[in-house]
Amino acid sequence: MPLLHTGRRRTKLNRSYNGPPRQGPVRHISPAQLNLERVYEQNRLSVQKKDGLKAPEPAPGPAAKGKPRLLLMGQRRSGKSSISSVVFHKMPPNETLFLESTARIQKDSMHSFMDFQVWDFPGQVDFMDPSFDLDAIFGEIGALIWVIDAQDDYLEAINRLNSTILNLQPSYPNVNIEVFIHKVDGLSDDYKLDIQRDIMQRIQDELSDHGVENAPINFHLTSIYNHSIFEAFSKVIQKLIPHLPTLEALLNDLCRACRFEKAYLFDVLSKIYIATDSSPVDMPSYEICSDYIDVIVDVSEIYGWDRPKEYIEFLEGPPWNKALEDQVACRDAESAILLTDGKRPIMLREVNKYLALVAIMCEGSYEKMPSVTMNVEGTVKGLTEVFEITKQRK
């Protein structure tokens, strides 16, 4: 039986997000909600189309101080806007087919456990033009994400990427460059690896010819039709977290104490995991934990509504005579579920309104839930203190 808190107190998990949309039977939404999403997207596209009729800005201009930026760059129709829409705006992957080409730089501010920005650059913009202020673009960059369409001729995309890296090296030698080899869904595993090897070899050879050795470039095979795009963004975001080793150490200690198979610290809004323990990440465990968050958020949508004042007074009256907050064992969202296939419990514990700790337990661990709950409580307290200290330093 899932242990769900579904009383008057709303869970602090942000329920306005239903998580990253995916194909498959996991995500269930009502026709009314689907209608709202479509209306929202039509309005967004309408604004984008009107903006596209205006002359492009000569430079993106200064960004908010202290907010790292993720720059999405690449050729036209490579999938940059689709990636941003699916990961950060919960658009169903199938609906990205109707997105128009980006006509100007699109800036999105993400407010989560860490505020950051996502800039989507049109493929036709030459941001190395003197009219652009390079410091305004790359001054506070967190990562440059270069998207390459694996199903198209990628030689021009590689040439542009190499040119960009060579132009940035003198002034910004430490920029993290993440290459998303995108649209690999439908390709065989062998063919994916062949494409990745070919792209890596071409980029590294040309950079070596120009005297650039060991450039900080990472390669990811991605698709919006599975969890690979979220896995790739997880690795990108983790590089922006200064206290990542501390988070990982806390999760390692928790896994040892409770004999967890795997533990993730998830950003609830995007389903990106910002930290995990040191054991290897396997996609099935990540996918099931991500889907479990969707289930909890959907249940919270059903039961987390505001109760009438009279009903609250009745619950707080005799024979309890206590405020509802004092009648619950845990004021934060927590849940546990037992998988029938492998008999492995999965538990979720809210850290704050943005983050949730999700762990896959070993078979037979369900009988040790009291000690597990105590250890998880201590870990959550430690995670909260880490973020509080980081916030104070900022």
Instruction: Give the model confidence (pLDDT) of 11-28 as tens digits.
Output: 444 434 444 444 444 444
Residue with the bigger pLDDT between 314 and 73: it is: 73
CA proximity to 53, closest of 98, 100, 119, 95: 100
Looking at residue 341, its pLDDT comes to 55
Share of the chain above pLDDT 70, in %: 78
Residue with the bigger pLDDT between 290 and 50: it is: 290
Cβ atoms of 254 and 359 closer than 8 Å? yes
**Which runs of E-coded beta strand occur in 75-205?**
106-110, 116-120, 141-149, 177-182
* pLDDT reading at 55 higher than 50: no
Cβ atoms of 67 and 109 closer than 8 Å? yes
The C-alpha atoms of residue 233 and residue 271 are separated, in whole angstroms, by: 10
Q: What is the mean pLDDT of residues 286-303?
A: 84
Query: Quick one: tokens of 286?
Result: 């990540």
Looking at residue 339, its pLDDT comes to 63
Looking at residue 98, its pLDDT comes to 86
Task: State pLDDT tens for residues 78-96.
Answer: 999 999 999 988 888 998 8
Task: State pLDDT tens for residues 226-269.
Answer: 999 999 999 999 998 888 999 999 999 999 998 899 999 999 88
Q: What is the mean pLDDT of residues 97-123?
A: 85
How many of the other CB atoms lie within 10 Å of CB of 189?
9
Looking at residue 369, its pLDDT comes to 81
